[in-house]
Amino acid sequence: MIIFNKEKYEGIAAEDNAGIVGENLVSKVEFTVNDFVGKNTIAAIHLRFKDGSVNTVAPQTVKTVNNSTYIMWKIGKNDIFCHGWVEVQLELREEETTLQTDIVRLFAGESIPIEDKGFTNPNSETLALRDEAKKCWDKIAEQNKQIENNIKVIADSDITLKEEKANKVTLKADVTDESYPSVAYLENYYYDYDDVDDEIQNLKSSVDTKLNLKADKADTLAGYGITDAYDKTYINRSLNLKLDKRPFDTEPKYNSPNYITSGTVYNSVNSLRQTVVQNKADIEKSLANKYDAANNEIGSGELSPGQTIYEGSAGNFVYAKNGDAVTVSVNITSMLADKTYLQMTGLPFPSKAESRLASIAVYSTKNKLRNVRIDGSWIYISAPSDKFVEDEKMNFVVTYIIRR
């Protein structure tokens, strides 16, 4: 059951008066539902107002008191849509259990909050209709204002600017700068649609008659019925056998488009032949005195340790060969430290045997004096008074005769 304070509402029959809350000046309503207790109770308050609008609000407090459920609804704006009576039904849910109370009618005076006029509540059909009606009245007022403005514009118009009927003419002879044509004038001096259409049809008939006397458009002579004329293929074949008409030159000229006589051609060709023969002899004589360019060669390569005990050493080279002589620029990029001797192989050409009997002295990057000797395609490097040091490198150039 629902427990609330009942107080007679003045002017209402006793059988229709279920009571009002407090003295009609409260901002909250309290309900107690006996014999309904839950741990996670969800409550809703369903409202139906005198004008037929409805609303559902959530109470601010739902809690268990003894063996009952206490509900407190703090009335806020947009909760109450219409003053007068309001029907209330409580709904409580606890897991799969739902309780709906009987509908009780209460009475609300002007002191209970009503909706904010600037707020649109989607649950109120009454408010929606009221707003729609207001929009209609505003539109009607706007149209009435426009009608009044139009009437004022017409009233304020200068009637003297209107055209006089007396200036309307029907004959071309009556046309002046101040007159304007009437419908009769337009009918007298201009074709209407039917007249223009008749003229077009007559013209089309005349053109069709003349076109029927013409041959159909074709791409060949046969298409026009001509069978005894030379065709394009025959003429092109005949023209291809003809020379273009040009004058003859008496002697060959550079870039000349003209022809030359056969005698001129013979004399010129014969003279040219003799010149070519002489030039050929001169060139062959000159070439015999030149060195064969095929004996020249340039290239590069890598050096590798001559034995496994020298692994870790590395080097490369570039060379230029001219006949039997070759010049090699050697770059030893890695030398094993604490060694006094190094053998590297891989030179591009083997040297003559005599080269093994000669050596050169070269300073390394550590400013150490080193002996270098070439034997075949091998390079031998030795330290006469000390040992190679860490990160020591060498660069030198040797020229030798290739062994054949």
Whose CA is closest to 257, among 246, 242, 268, 267? 246
Helix (H/G/I), strand (E/B), else coil: 65: strand
Amino acid, res. 193: Y
In a domain? residue 217: no
Final residue of a structural domain among 66, 101, 126: 126
Q: Which residue has the tokens 């046309």?
A: 175
Q: With respect to residue 135, please indicate whether it lies within any of the assigned structural domains.
A: no
Q: How far apart are CA 81 and CA 126, in angstroms?
A: 8
Asked if residue 278 belongs to a domain, the reply is no
* Nearest CA-CA partner of 320 in 339, 292, 298: 298
Tokens standing for residue 348: 């591009």
Per-residue confidence (pLDDT) for residue 215, from 0 to 100: 67
Q: Select from 81, 111, 126 the last residue of a domain.
A: 126
Is residue 392 in a domain? yes
pTM: 0.32
Containing 359, the helix (H) or strand (E) segment is strand 359-363
pLDDT of residue 218: 74
DSSP state of 174: G
Tell me how crowded residue 130 is: count the other CB atoms within 10 A of its CB.
12
Domain boundary among 68, 100, 126: 126
Query: Tens digits of per-residue pLDDT, 229-286?
Result: 777 787 888 878 777 777 877 777 778 877 677 666 667 777 777 888 888 888 888 7
Q: Looking at residues 322-329, what average pLDDT do you find?
A: 92
- Residue 374: its H or E element: strand 369-375
Q: What is the pLDDT of residue 83?
A: 65
- Bigger pLDDT: 349 or 160? 349
If pLDDT is split at 50, 70 and 90, which confidence band does 334 have? very high
Number of Cβ atoms within 10 Å of the Cβ of 238: 10
* Residue 221 falls inside a structural domain: no
Domain assignment present for residue 290? The answer is no
Q: What are phi and psi of 41, to 5 degrees?
A: -75, 130
Query: Whole-angstrom Cα distance, residue 368 to residue 387?
Result: 9
* pLDDT confidence tier of residue 18, bands split at 50, 70 and 90: very low
Token code pair at residue 27: 């901002």
The rounded distance, in Å, linking the Cα atoms of 103 and 176 is: 89
List the CATH number of the domain containing 82.
2.60.40
Q: With respect to residue 77, please indicate whether it lies within any of the assigned structural domains.
A: yes
Which residues, 6 or more positions from 42, have their beta carbon under 8 angstroms from its beta carbon? Answer: 62, 92, 93, 94
- Residues 219 and 225: their CA atoms lie apart, in Å, by 12
Evaluate whether 73 touches 83 at the Cβ level (below 8 Å): no
- Count other Cβ atoms within 10 Å, centred on residue 62: 19
Report pLDDT digits (tens) over 346-372: 999 999 988 888 889 999 999 999 999
Structurally, the chain folds into a number of domains equal to: 2
The residue-averaged pLDDT of 173-190 equals 73
What CATH number is attached to the domain comprising 373? Answer: 2.60.90.50
Specify the pLDDT at position 19. 39
- Classify residue 166: in a domain, yes or no: no
Domain that holds residue 313: 296-401
What's the rounded mean pLDDT across residues 34-63? 87
Q: Give the number of residues written for the chain.
A: 404
Average pLDDT (150-178) is: 73
DSSP structure class, residue 21: S
